[in-house]
Amino acid sequence: MAKKYCVLIGDIVDSKKISNRKVFQARFSRILEKVNQRFAADIISEFTITLGDELQGVIRHPQKSYDIIEAFLNLFEPVELRFGIGLGAISTKISKKTQGMDGQAFHLARAAILRAKKEGQAVVFNLGKPLAELSLNTLCLCLQNISKAWTKRQKRVVEEYCSLGKQDKVARVLRVSQPTVAKILAASRYDWFFEVEAALKSVLSLIIDK
């Protein structure tokens, strides 16, 4: 049986609305470099810019796909992205860059991102495993719906809490009281968000790429 690889394709949402293309492209390249360095141990073919406003790369296993997606989403903020993830064989030679590479994994990832665009979803998995896909795509949609409801202030507090881990530390950084931080976190439903995210990563960890 042919070895399976995980392909991630990312697409900039409403890219035509970006005004200074030269500045954005430079930022785009810097972000790819950061992600490629941070996840070097998990990447087979580095993430590169394709089709102007898309990025794609090949990783060893779907388990790390959401961590990589999270990194891209945070680094690109406030620019929005959508992602398609495919798991399958690659019929061409494996290279450091994805240019010229082809195969089932790429086709599945392409179909996933087209679905994401059509249905307005941020992330779609297309792994050839229907039950896992149903769970993953449902969980991703839950995460999307929760985070889209956040105000800028809620988002900032959640991000700081993710980084610092304690409400009193967040309060000091944002110069507010700890009860204020607790109230904002509760209103953002951050506990539900983290539970859903943990469930998603658990499902990914159980996927066997055979």
Do residue 118 and residue 147 come from a single domain?
no
Length of the chain equals: 210
Are both 135 and 198 inside the same structural domain? yes
Domain CATH number, residue 118: 3.30.70.270
Residue-level pLDDT at 210: 52
Mean pLDDT, the chain, whole residue set: 91
Question: pLDDT: is 8 or 206 the higher one?
Answer: 8
Residue 100 shares a structural domain with residue 165: no
Q: What is the pLDDT of residue 208?
A: 67
| All residues at 6 or more sequence positions from 75 whose CB lies less than 8 Å from its CB, including other chains | 31, 34, 35
Q: Which has the higher per-residue pLDDT, 174 or 2?
A: 174
Both 89 and 21 in one domain: the answer is yes
**pLDDT tens digits, residue range 113-164?**
999 999 999 999 999 889 999 999 999 999 999 998 999 999 999 989 988 8
Q: Is there a single domain that holds both residue 46 and residue 11? A: yes
Domain boundary among 83, 111, 127: 127
**Quick one: angle between helices 178-188 and 190-206, nearest 10?**
60
**104: containing domain:** 5-127
Residues ≥6 apart with Cβ < 8 Å to 19: none
pLDDT confidence band for 16 (50 / 70 / 90) = confident
Residue-level pLDDT at 23: 87
Pair (63, 148) in one structural domain: no
Query: What is the predicted pLDDT for the residue at 170?
Result: 92
* pTM of the predicted structure, to 2 decimals: 0.89
Residues 48, 120: one domain? Answer: yes
Is residue 10's pLDDT more than 60? yes
Strands of 54-59's sheet in order across:
43-50, 54-59, 5-12, 81-88, 123-126
For 66-111, what is each residue's pLDDT tens digit?
999 999 998 998 889 999 999 999 999 999 998 888 999 999 999 9
Q: Which residue has the higher pLDDT, 200 or 206?
A: 200
Q: How many domains is the chain partitioned into structurally?
A: 2
Residue where a domain terminates, one of 99, 127, 155: 127
